[in-house]
Amino acid sequence: MVAYDSARLGRHGEDRVARWYEERGYRVLERNWRCDLGELDLILARGDDVVVCEVKTRSTTRFGHPLEAVGPDKQRRLRALAARWREGAPFRPNSLRIDVAAVLGGRITVVEHAC
């Protein structure tokens, strides 16, 4: 039950963040893109500018702010994943940016150029 709830919460957060980007003129290229290194939550593009976004969703701050969950190791992994995606990208992006989005109790915080 717990796993199911947290998965649903995560999916809900990703939906909200995807909509947040769409409102700002982005289109969603991929959701939950996977490779042997792991998974990217959202890949978005506005023109040829690509954004890779890690979404963290929490209902409380009991275990800290969701942004704090993206530590140095996770940041390193995000950079590796973004590079891997770029190798097989369907087009050559003009720029590639990594964002981290936090969804906490319905509030969305997006940190651009997070790493």
Partner 1 sequence: MLASVASAVLQGIDGHHVRVEVHVAGGLPAFTVVGLPDASCRESRDRVRAAVLSAGFRFPPERVTVNLAPTNLRKHGPVLDLPIALALLVASGQLDHESVAGAAFLGELGLDGSVRRIVGALPLAEVLADRPLVVPLDDLDEVRLVVPAARGAASLRALVESLRGTSPWPEPDPEPRRGRVTAGPGWSPDLADVHGHPIGRLAVEVAAAGGHHLLLVGPPGAGKTMLAERLPGILPDLSESQALEVARVRSAAGAEVGPGEHPRGLHRRPPFRSPHHTASVVALVGGGSRVLRPGEISLATGGVLFLDELGEFPAAHLDALRQPLESGVVDVVRAAVSARLPARFLLVGATNPCPCGFAPAPRCRCGPAQLQRYSRRLSGPVLDRFDLRVRLDSPDPASLFGGQGGAESSAGVQRRVAAARERATSRGVPANRALRGAALETHAPLTDEAVRLLRDRLGRGRLTVRGSQRLRAVALTLLDLSGAEAPIGADDLLVAECLRAQDALPGGPA
Under the rule (CB under 8 A), what is the footprint of partner 1? 65, 67-68, 70, 75, 100, 102, 109, 111, 114-115
Shortest Cβ distance from residue 48 to partner 1 (Å)? 25
Whose Cβ is closer to partner 1: residue 42's or residue 70's?
A: 70
Shortest Cβ distance from residue 18 to partner 1 (Å)? 21
Give the whole-angstrom CA distance, residue 13 versus residue 8. 9
Contact in structure between 90 and 44 (CB atoms under 8 Å): no
Whose Cβ is closer to partner 1: residue 10's or residue 75's?
A: 75
The C-alpha torsion from 8 through 9 and 15 to 20, rounded to 10°, is 180
The C-alpha torsion from 81 through 83 and 85 to 89, rounded to 10°, is 170
Whose Cβ is closer to partner 1: residue 14's or residue 54's?
A: 54
